[in-house]
Structure 1
Amino acid sequence: MPVTALVSAKSSGVTTAALALTLASKRPSLLAECDPAGGTIRAGFLQGQVDAGYGLYHLAAAERTGSDALANAFASHLWPMDEAGHRKLLPGLTDPAQAAALGRTWPALSEVMHVLAEEAGYDVFIDAGRLVLESGHLHTTLTPAPLLHQADLVLLVVRCTEQSLTLARHLADPLRTELAERGSGPEALGLLLIEDGPYRAHQVAEALKVPVLAALPFDRDTAAYFTNGGRPPRGYGRSPLLRHARTATGQFEATVSRRKIQQQYPPRAANPQLAGVLERLTSGGKRG
């Protein structure tokens, strides 16, 4: 199953989208809250149920002990988000000042998450927060760069508004270049559209030169529940946000599967004779 990282330029609904995808997945799923600016799910959606003794920060000390210690700490710091324990959360930082301690932890943590996805069949979603650039590259402290480099998919979350497009436009090219030079390739980048605003999917894709891989509706009631917790809204399980999120997880899996097949079986060199046949076939069979 894929490891998918979600990022944004600013306040585009990354955490809400990541929660929706994690809770809607048809498979066991994990949400790793890895925003260096600090996590919000602990105080919001979970309403303080999880104290500071759980979470991402504690993995830094474990990683310094060794890979086995990191794997054990990772498992012990996951919080179940449903009664069956199929939806798990790695709670984020409680203080942005803790982010500096994770610099050397990100690569090893990424490996653990990929093992969970590939060996245990989990959908893994990473809330990587707001992108921060330094000299045209991902900031090494304010962005969990290794998680993005190694992710199967990197989703730039964008709203259909002029403001969101303007902010995202400055990040799309540097992020694509980053993934080409240091990640799994520029094809790992896609857009997750939040349908809040006047622009359509094809307009957003054209403006940012990045394909839209999925879209989620602006579902005010469900989004408020994910942000603030409390009692779920009426019809929550059948809400538009969760229904579209369930479809989106399937689209992401299909996209990653296609990429892996293409990487395993690269296109053959073009044959001029075959190219001529294909040209005639695709021209509708018209004769000169």
Structure 2
Amino acid sequence: MITIVSGKGSPGGTTTLAALAAAWPAPVLLADCDPAGGDLAPGWLSQWLVAGAIRADRGVLSHATATRHATAGDPAALLEHVQPVPPARHVGLLAGLASPGQHSAISAAGWTRLTASLAAFRTPAGHPADALVDVGRFGAATPWPLLLAADVVLLAVRPTPRHVLAARPVLAELAERIVPERLGLAVCATSPAGAHEVRAALGRAVAVALPADERTAAVLSDGNDAGAVPRRSPLLRTARRAARRLHGTYHNYTPAELRVPAPRASVDVLAGASR
């Protein structure tokens, strides 16, 4: 489970997570857990949301409602709340809240149940699936269970003084509860030199550094081209390398498996989600 969190100023965390999901080399669950309201479905998948292929009422809130009397998380119960992502068939979406007001319906216990389900999620065929989790901008409502249980927590930041300054207090608070080995940076819209400067300024390893690529960023943030990411775009090429490196850190691979996702596995997440 990889959780991404942002500081002030919308540094691009949601777009980065969407890029990683689109490039992930195996079935993956994309969970929009921003307590202020989700942006993945209204952004990257907006055309599919308008067309009715993605449902706004099926996701984090419906899972919390369905499991409100449960005492523990149940990964199997999560499947019925996961939806296919049409432009990326290996991705299953747990859609986010429609508005900040819905956050009160989740409760701390609801976030804890969801965290347990995400951490142990399996596809309908029984294969483990990684979870990429967006918790949005860090603040008082941030669901800490999704940070504390993550294998990696990434703070999204842009290579500008404004974003670096905004990241410092967030990093300091995260570091009080998350060990250094699990806390890193996702530097958005950057160059190699920019990523190096951010690392030096914040004293944290850069786990993901994605280049500025306005065309592809518009697909992932605004749903241009029906959310179909250009396969040869600089952003996707870099995201693919980052995704394989992150995935390979926790899974055993052969070199051939790293090059191309298995077609059968790529639809596995969606086989049950569409039922």
What one-letter code is carried by the residue in structure 2 that aligns with 1:123? D
Mapped partners of 2:219, 2:28: distance in 1: 20
Mapped partners of 2:3, 2:189: distance in 1: 20
How much has 1:52 moved relative to structure 2?
3.4
**TM-score under structure 1 normalisation?**
0.76
Alignment of 1:51 with 2:55, yes or no, is yes
What one-letter code is carried by the residue in structure 2 that aligns with 1:7? V
| Residue 110 of structure 2, aligned match among 97, 105, 114 | 105
Gaps of 5+ in 1: 133-138, 180-184, 259-288
Contact 1:22 1:123 in 2 (8 A): no
Mapped partners of 1:79, 1:233: distance in 2: 15
SS of the residue corresponding to residue 35 of structure 2 reads: coil
1:246 paired residue number: 240
2:38 paired residue number: 39
Paired-residue identity, %: 37
Mapped partners of 1:91, 1:234: distance in 2: 18
Mapped partners of 1:84, 1:197: distance in 2: 26
Structure 1 residues 75-114: aligned runs within 5 Å: 75-82=79-86, 85-102=89-106, 103-114=108-119
Name the CA shift for 1:249/1:67 in 2 (closer, same or farther; >3 Å).
farther
Can you list the C-alpha shifts for 1:127-173, whole angstroms capped at 9, x where unaligned? 110011xxxxxx3xx10110000000000111111111010012111
What one-letter code is carried by the residue in structure 2 that aligns with 1:16? T
Number of corresponding residues: 243
Mapped partners of 1:194, 1:114: distance in 2: 26
Alignment of 1:126 with 2:120, yes or no, is no
How much has 1:195 moved relative to structure 2?
3.4
Contact 2:87 2:226 in 1 (8 A): no
Alignment of 1:195 with 2:189, yes or no, is yes
Mapped partners of 1:67, 1:245: distance in 2: 37
Mapped partners of 2:213, 2:79: distance in 1: 32
**TM-score under structure 2 normalisation?**
0.80
Mapped partners of 1:189, 1:88: distance in 2: 25
Structure 1 residues 131-142: aligned runs within 5 Å: 131-132=138-139, 139=140, 142=141
Contact 1:29 1:88 in 2 (8 A): yes
Can you list the C-alpha shifts for 1:105-134, whole angstroms capped at 9, x where unaligned? 1122111111126972323100110011xx
What one-letter code is carried by the residue in structure 1 that aligns with 2:165? T
Mapped partners of 2:230, 2:129: distance in 1: 23
What one-letter code is carried by the residue in structure 1 that aligns with 2:242? A
| Residue 226 of structure 1, aligned match among 197, 220, 226 | 220
| Residue 6 of structure 1, aligned match among 1, 4, 8 | 4
Mapped partners of 2:191, 2:22: distance in 1: 25
Structure 1 residues 157-168: aligned runs within 5 Å: 157-168=156-167
Mapped partners of 1:222, 1:26: distance in 2: 19
